Amino acid sequence: MPKGKSQEATNDLVLSFKAVRQALGWIGALLPVALILGGAGFDHHVAASISDTYYTAMKDVFVGAMCATGVFLVSYRGYDRAPDEFLSDTWISRIAGAAAIGLALMPTAPALPEPTGGLTAMQRLIGPGPTSVLHFTCAALFFAMLATFCLFLFTRTGTTRAATRAKINRNRVYRSCGWVLVGVILAVLAMKLIELALPASTAVFRSWSAMFILEAIGVWAFGLSWLVKGESIGFLND
């Protein structure tokens, strides 16, 4: 391949990487906002959790956004696996993408025994309870893989050059987002344990939309990290 064509192909590949990263970032940044505005406008309240929007007028937005996120992540190709790494960028993004699609297609248990529109195929096949367990397993895996990106993959610097000031600042953002995601996972786990120990707390948490708030914070952290990685925030670029 002529040098010019080779460089053009390389440039197109870089632009494609950036486009995918930016798309993921904007989905993360805008999804909670869309669900809040849609819930307030159509249902006159914010759902108890992002997962619960499956049973609201914003179902299509939630499912569509998570499936799009999953497809982007499954198709994402990052750096090759380093010798000291267990999984490469590609495999971590594939796991995250599969988890995103899984949590969209296997919804949390409905608040009502027979929700509007009926049960999904998976809920009819194995029951709403087991489907909900799979949903939360996928959600935890999704957030865990996103935290892995932020804390370990995005922060890497090429071995042939020292980190620039902009790269150091980006790494601070990545690590902050990663620890926010870890904190969200732990906070959600704590809420679930409290609900098991004190069933009455479930109604209180739902009335505060506490789960929605935690999930939204995690999704915003995800969105910010990928917007930075996609070079959408100018002052953080080299």
pLDDT per residue as tens digits for the range 69-110? 999 999 987 776 776 767 788 899 999 999 999 999 999 988
Six token digits for residue 68 = 């799009």
Q: Give, for 140, the enclosing helix (H) or strand (E).
A: helix 128-148
- pLDDT category, 2, cuts 50, 70, 90? very low
CA dist list (Å): 56 to 45, 49, 117, 188? 10, 11, 11, 22
CB within 8 Å of 92: residues ≥ 6 apart? 78, 145, 148, 149, 153
**pLDDT, tens digit (0-9, with 9 covering 90-100), for 173-197:** 999 999 999 999 999 999 999 999 9
Take residue 234 and report the two structure tokens written for it. 């100018």
What is the reported pLDDT for 4? 44
pTM: 0.90
What sign has the CA pseudo-torsion 148, 152, 155, 160?
Answer: negative
- 30 contact partners, CB below 8 Å, separation of at least 6: 223
Task: Supply the pLDDT for residue 188.
Answer: 97
Domain locations along the chain: 3-149+162-231
The band of 115, judged by pLDDT with boundaries at 50, 70 and 90, is low
Q: CA 195, 200, 202: angle at the middle one, nearest 5?
A: 50
Residue pointed to by tokens 């670029």: 237
pLDDT tens by residue, 18-57: 999 999 999 999 999 999 999 999 999 999 999 999 999 9
